[in-house]
């Protein structure tokens, strides 16, 4: 499908608006500001051994995803959850969730994306795209292949790249 420069630019602007364009702290490798790197809770420690887990305090509504660095990230709403994960199975109850340091929540509307015909899949959230490094990582985080959106290259290239998601 052919897309004009103007259409591609409009698509890129729309994606950046959806994922939140503002950007605080920078990532170490890329130097690109990463709003998702902001630590919200410092009273606890990161727990990388929990990476990929979806956790919830029993009887409490918020669900968190533990990121590759071991920080919990709030999944802000059911729509965002449904954009990313296979289903609601496997959310673990954890009475000690407060002992896991918290980073900025995933942005509302976060989604999985790739360029048509290209193998790389990205988590698009908080104004950044983060490459999901392998099919094993997709499985580890319970991400759903069928929910990966195909985005024109011009639009996805316009989103700054954050640290890989492993």
pLDDT tens-digit map of 10-41: 454 445 444 454 333 444 445 555 555 566 65
User: What average pLDDT score do residues 58-64 get?
Assistant: 92
* Domain-embedded: residue 7: no
- The whole domain housing 145 covers 48-162
* Domain-embedded: residue 127: yes
The pTM is what?
Answer: 0.78
* Domain-embedded: residue 148: yes
Over residues 130-164, the pLDDT tens digits come to 999 999 999 999 999 999 999 999 999 999 999 99
Q: Which long-range contacts (CB under 8 A, 24 or more apart) does 81-84 make?
A: 82/147, 83/109, 83/110, 83/111, 83/112, 83/147, 84/110, 84/111, 84/112, 84/123, 84/143, 84/144, 84/147
**How many distinct structural domains can be found in the chain?**
1
* Domain-embedded: residue 26: no
User: What average pLDDT score do residues 77-97 get?
Assistant: 96
State yes or no: pLDDT of 52 exceeds 90.
yes
């Amino acid at each position: 499908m052919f897309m004009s420069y103007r259409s591609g630019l409009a698509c890129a602007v729309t994606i950046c608006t959806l994922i939140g364009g503002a950007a605080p702290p920078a990532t170490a490798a890329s130097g690109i500001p990463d709003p998702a790197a902001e630590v919200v809770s410092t009273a606890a420690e990161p727990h990388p051994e929990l990476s990929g887990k979806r956790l919830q305090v029993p009887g409490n509504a918020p669900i968190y995803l533990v990121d590759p660095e071991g920080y919990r990230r709030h999944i802000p709403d059911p729509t965002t959850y449904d954009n990313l994960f296979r289903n609601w199975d496997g959310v673990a109850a954890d009475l000690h969730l407060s002992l896991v340091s918290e980073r900025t929540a995933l942005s509302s509307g976060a989604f999985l994306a790739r360029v048509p015909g290209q193998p790389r899949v990205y988590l698009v959230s908080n104004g950044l795209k983060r490459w999901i490094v392998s099919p094993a990582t997709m499985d580890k985080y319970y991400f759903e292949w069928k929910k990966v959106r195909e985005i024109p290259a011009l639009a996805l290239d316009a989103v700054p790249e954050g640290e890989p998601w492993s």
